[in-house]
Chain A
Amino acid sequence: MSEFRLKDVFEHESIKSFGKTLRKMIRPPKEGNKEKWASDYASIVELGYVETKDQFAEVIKKLLRRYDVIAKKHQLKRPTEKNLEELMELIDKYGVKPVRAALISYALVKKDEE
């Protein structure tokens, strides 16, 4: 076990940005009783199986592609190029598993505190 804790990864700006995106995709906001768009189960399933940096990049690419459609329609903020670069740097530094765990954790944080 290294000296790093999951908290160190979770607090990174790029995780925050992609974590918010993932949360919006899998837990869409509600309008009345109805969700604004269909929940993106695929991203959470695909993320669960990634083992390498390339696989992770592929899942993030798919997530962004799906998110773009919704972001355009609902005028949502998109993660920046810098966020994406930093996310990949985090994988080089910590590995896929901690980054994935930190990202998924964002989906369980209270929405108003993201």
Chain B
Amino acid sequence: MNHYFLAKSGWEFFDVSKAYGLGLVIQTLTGNASITDRGGFYLIESKNETKFDKIEEISKYFDDSELKTTLITIQRSTKSEMKPPVKKVKGKCLETLTDKESMITVIKNYENLNSPSIIGTDKQTLYQTMDLAATKGIRNEILLKKNYSDGTNIKISDKDFALSLLGHINFTIKKFSDFGLILVAPTPLKTELKNVRQIYANLKGNVKVAHKAGWFPTITQIAINLVSEEIMVKDGGKFAPKFGSLIYSIMRKTGNQWKPSTGGIFPLDFLHQIADSDNAINILNKWKKIFGWTSRKNGHEDLPTSLAEFIANPNLFNYQRYVNFHLRNEIDKDNIKFGDYKKEDFLEVMKNVGI
């Protein structure tokens, strides 16, 4: 087994994208790769040796539509042709990632656990979409009587940027909505990269648009669909989580400029407890139905919002709130009905609600 270590720099979105990017390179060169979040670093493992004659194949992972979304802050609109700065970034990244000699050194460097990437002063700008924290840059110390100035852009090395961009294009779920752009990346737990790619492709099909009720129900809808996909990937018949949590960033558009709105980590623990039960499919399907049916309709925001809050934090208060909204929805003659729970399914949900 070959091991590759990627120490975390603390810039979570950048780190996870870079890990997926490196994983995809290893997968391309060896034919198989798994990726694990080990707390302080990401571990990429492969059973096979690297074959660098396959390095050119990496270019097939640069999908133009995904690239335009990832670089929206310089592309401006995903509907227009690819802008020259985006073409330039794409060309530069492809050049970096397909340079055989350079990549041999890069991969060799990850065979040992080294210091994390240096963030701050290098050549390539880390864009807002690739890590919200990069938006405001690093400010110089404001000395007495000096004028305020914005920070300078965060610069990283070309190689770090190329790996992070590759991961971002292929493993970040991106949804535009009325309130902005939602970016979600799952953190891997000993996950085969081919499975992650399959799950990512299925998710794109299952969650087509952002939820009308806002970014939080959208992320919850993605989480439920992600866990449903995890169940489908059998490892010796027993359920084993493939992801630990979801890292998310929300950007808002003000005029022509994109601004950071919020970001965080969405826990998957409760959904995994549900997934590890005999009633998982019934429960997850009901929740998928609630989010799916209300996602494009106005006037149905309360129920998905309360359910999202309950799933993220399954305490008694959130449970009571969700059950009240669900019940009122069923009683109201004019509303879409989501139906009652089977008793054993409901018991499984309640098993996880502490009092």
- Asked if A pairs with B, the answer is yes
* Interfacial residues, chain A to chain B (CB-CB below 8 A): 1-2, 4-7, 9-11, 26-27, 39, 41, 44, 48, 94-95, 97-98, 100-102, 104-105, 107-111, 113-114
Partner of A5, one of B341, B342, B351: B351
Beta-carbon nearest neighbor of A9 in chain B:
B355
- Contact residues in B for A4 (Cβ distance below 8 Å): 354-355
Interface status of B324 (Cβ within 8 A of chain A):
yes
Q: With the chains together, A6 CA to B353 CA distance in Å?
A: 6
Beta-carbon nearest neighbor of B348 in chain A:
A7
- Cβ of B273 to closest chain A Cβ, rounded Å: 12
Q: Are A113 and B343 in contact (CB under 8 A)?
A: yes
- Contact residues in A for B316 (Cβ distance below 8 Å): 6, 97-98, 101
- Contact residues in B for A48 (Cβ distance below 8 Å): 324
Q: With the chains together, A47 CA to B315 CA distance in Å?
A: 19
Nearest first, the 10 closest Cβ-Cβ pairs linking A and B are A1-B354, A6-B353, A6-B350, A7-B350, A98-B355, A113-B343, A110-B340, A7-B351, A101-B320, A109-B343
Q: Are B341 and A109 in contact (CB under 8 A)?
A: yes
Q: How large is the interface on B (under 10, 10 to 19, 20 to 34, 35 or more residues)?
A: 20 to 34
* Interfacial residues, chain B to chain A (CB-CB below 8 A): 315-317, 319-320, 323-324, 326-328, 330-331, 339-343, 346-347, 350-355
Beta-carbon nearest neighbor of A44 in chain B:
B327
- Contact residues in A for B351 (Cβ distance below 8 Å): 5-7
Q: Are A10 and B320 in contact (CB under 8 A)?
A: no
User: A2 with B354: in contact, given A7-B347, A109-B341, A110-B343 (CB under 8 Å)?
Assistant: yes
- Contact residues in A for B355 (Cβ distance below 8 Å): 1-2, 4-6, 9, 94-95, 97-98
- Cβ of B321 to closest chain A Cβ, rounded Å: 10
Partner of A27, one of B330, B343, B353, B354: B330
- Cβ of B343 to closest chain A Cβ, rounded Å: 4
